[in-house]
Structure 1
Amino acid sequence: MSSSQQLEVGEGEESGLDEELRKQAVRETGRGSASPAGRKVTFGFHLVEGKTPHGMEDRHVAEFRRLEDGNEVGLFAVFDGHAGADVATYLREHLFDDILREPGFWTDTVDAIRRTYHRTDRRVLEMTEEEGDGEERRRRNAGSTAVTAILINGERLVVANVGDSRVVACERGGPARQLSVDHEPLRERAAVEARGGFVTEIHGDVPRVDAQLAMSRAFGDRGLKDHISSDPDVAIEDVGAGAGTEFVVLASDGLWKVMSNQECVDAVRGTADARKAAAELVGEALERGSADDIACVVVRLH
């Protein structure tokens, strides 16, 4: 953690938070700040456990690091686990370290991130090799989305993702702009079918790969791995002072199921405190009926 970062964690800090939000199981909430290359950046995060009959499966990363070579990086991510939190937890603990250590990260960033995502997926599959029944079989088929954002010296933002967790940016006074790609079964039906899988469309349910997974790319999911991918979409954005980027929001699909990108940025724009903005976004999603786990990270570029 950078010496310039101040992290505060607490629950219910703002008396104006909605009552329904206070009733939810708040798993983590906090804020931090740093000044990479003299530019102030603040961030806040808020995570709640949903009403589904399992424990909290979302994980996040929000921190700054000063590297040995003098570069300072902001590391922000949301991992939405399924069939347990094992894969999401592994990604939280290892993915950024592996990306930053990957040869070529500074010279061919996109290819380095893709290699790291693929190698990480192989390790996740090795981790979930156990055979068995019941809980062991469930853990064997565990998986997770990933959306990662690396802010380099306050100037460049490197975004990568697999699955349907999302990152959205907003320029000052401008509209919402999605930086990640939702990997949905219908959108990638041709790729799924080319691998020997199929996509179901059942009334009252979302489209699913092999009638099981509601996304076409993910980490893990051993039983479906022949039919889905862990290949990330990667984008590099100029977010320097001249670019006009005001803030970035990362969140799991528990938020995006009930809020559009524009509704999200409109809500954040009026709240200067990043942690409060994240909490208010989660509260709005709950008001709109989201029953899923929600992890939300807001990064403000001042």
Structure 2
Amino acid sequence: MTGKEILHKMKEKVGLSSCAPDTGKGKSKIDKHITHGYHLVKGKSHHDMEDYVVAQFKQVGDHELGLFAIFDGHLSHDVPDYLSSHLFENILKEPDFWNETEHAIRKAYRLTDTNILDKAVELGKGGSTAVTAILIDCQKLVVANVGDSRAVICKNGVAKQLSVDHEPSKERKNIENRGGFVSNFPGDVPRVDGQLAVARAFGDKSLKEHLSSEPDVSSELIDDDVEFIILASDGIWKVLSNQEAVDCIKNVKDARSAAKHLNEEALARNSTDDISCIVVRFH
């Protein structure tokens, strides 16, 4: 078995994946009714799969943390691979994580981006979007994101977006203030310097002067109204609205089957991008 194969087997055991198609599931130890499932499908492009997923419950001292993330790479799979191994590690190292969780996450995002830029020779010129969700003791959910991967919560059948889509058209002024520009050419969507279709991302050293890696962070208390959350790359959100995604899986009780069903629905709607999805069910 090669070193890469051994690494892949290790990642599978702890809920990390970049292989397509790939799937997995797990559940909380303190509340067996809380389960998660994930599913990935490679898109129709000729490059390797560039999505990475983290989905696991982890005991940290007296606390249980659900750690969930979608990393959607561009120009390289090395940056999202690095993120899958290091971002949560950096977040949990922050001394104020338990008292000022949102502040700690912002600091860890900035630190991780600096580390990626410092390793640009090794990791290459590419970058990655990210959406992360940390479930603390099955009671509080903290979501952060850069880019257009998205987190959506379902409460009483109604979809609510917890992340922010960082689109160049919405952040044009900030990009121009940094010396960059937003153009629809080449292509058919607004891009930073005519290259990147998101205004915030990890990495992308050649564009970093004009890009932000500052996350939007939000918190949500988990009460009896919460049914499930969806984390997914833009391969789903390009073809499904938040409510359509929620309606698509509201009757699918198994979290892994729900994630797979969402991916299949996106494919049926002609999504051509890499697709990765995590569903966490609370009932």
Q: TM-score, normalised by structure 1?
A: 0.85
| Contact 1:39 1:154 survives alignment (8 Å) | no
Q: Give me the whole-angstrom Cα distance separating, in 2, the residues matched to 1:258 and 1:230.
A: 26
**Change beyond 3 A, Cα 1:228–1:8:** closer
Residue of structure 1 equivalent to 2:131: 147
User: 1:98: Cα distance to partner?
Assistant: 1.1
Aligned-residue identity in percent? 55
Q: TM-score, normalised by structure 2?
A: 0.91
| Contact 1:154 1:240 survives alignment (8 Å) | no
| 1:51-82 CA distance string (max 9 Å, x none) | 011000000000001112x1000000000001
| Contact 1:165 1:182 survives alignment (8 Å) | yes
Residue of structure 1 equivalent to 2:73: 81
Q: Give me the whole-angstrom Cα distance separating, in 1, the residues matched to 2:174 and 2:127.
A: 19
- Is the aligned partner of 1:292 residue 2:276? no
- Is the aligned partner of 1:183 residue 2:166? yes
User: 1:172: Cα distance to partner?
Assistant: 2.0
- Is the aligned partner of 1:279 residue 2:273? no
Q: Give me the whole-angstrom Cα distance separating, in 1, the residues matched to 2:180 and 2:200.
A: 13
The 5 Å alignment of 1:95-110 reads 95-110=87-102
| Contact 1:8 1:31 survives alignment (8 Å) | no
Which runs of 5 or more structure 1 residues have no equivalent in the other structure?
A: 1-6, 10-24, 131-138
User: 1:84: Cα distance to partner?
Assistant: 1.0
Q: Give me the whole-angstrom Cα distance separating, in 2, the residues matched to 1:111 and 1:193.
A: 27
Match 1:66 to one of 55, 59, 62? 59
User: 1:205: Cα distance to partner?
Assistant: 1.3
| Contact 2:14 2:56 survives alignment (8 Å) | no
Match 2:85 to one of 80, 84, 93? 93
| Contact 2:167 2:197 survives alignment (8 Å) | yes
User: 1:34: Cα distance to partner?
Assistant: 1.4
Q: Give me the whole-angstrom Cα distance separating, in 1, the residues matched to 2:184 and 2:264.
A: 31
User: 1:129: Cα distance to partner?
Assistant: 3.1
SS in 2 for 1:250: strand
**Change beyond 3 A, Cα 1:107–1:190:** same
| Contact 2:109 2:215 survives alignment (8 Å) | yes
Q: Give me the whole-angstrom Cα distance separating, in 2, the residues matched to 1:32 and 1:8.
A: 10
| 1:82-116 CA distance string (max 9 Å, x none) | 11100000010111111011110111111111110
- Is the aligned partner of 1:253 residue 2:247? no
Q: Give me the whole-angstrom Cα distance separating, in 1, the residues matched to 2:183 and 2:120.
A: 26
Q: In terms of Rg, which structure is larger?
A: 1
User: 1:140: Cα distance to partner?
Assistant: 2.9
Q: Give me the whole-angstrom Cα distance separating, in 2, the residues matched to 1:90 and 1:28.
A: 19
Q: Give me the whole-angstrom Cα distance separating, in 2, the residues matched to 1:283 and 1:26.
A: 14
Q: Give me the whole-angstrom Cα distance separating, in 2, the residues matched to 1:269 and 1:26.
A: 25
Residue of structure 1 equivalent to 2:178: 195
Letter in 2 for 1:89: D
Residue of structure 1 equivalent to 2:116: 124
Which runs of 5 or more structure 2 residues have no equivalent in the other structure?
A: 1-12
Q: Give me the whole-angstrom Cα distance separating, in 2, the residues matched to 1:297 and 1:270.
A: 16
| Contact 2:186 2:194 survives alignment (8 Å) | no
Residue of structure 2 equivalent to 1:32: 26
Residue of structure 1 equivalent to 2:38: 45
SS in 2 for 1:276: helix
**What value does the CA root-mean-square deviation take over the aligned residues?**
1.7
Match 1:227 to one of 202, 210, 219? 210
Letter in 2 for 1:176: A
What is the aligned length? 268
- Is the aligned partner of 1:111 residue 2:103? yes
User: 1:27: Cα distance to partner?
Assistant: 2.7
Residue of structure 1 equivalent to 2:7: none
Q: Give me the whole-angstrom Cα distance separating, in 2, the residues matched to 1:8 and 1:45.
A: 13
| 1:141-176 CA distance string (max 9 Å, x none) | 210001000000000000000000000001123x21
| Contact 1:146 1:163 survives alignment (8 Å) | yes
Q: Give me the whole-angstrom Cα distance separating, in 1, the residues matched to 2:252 and 2:29.
A: 20
Letter in 2 for 1:143: G
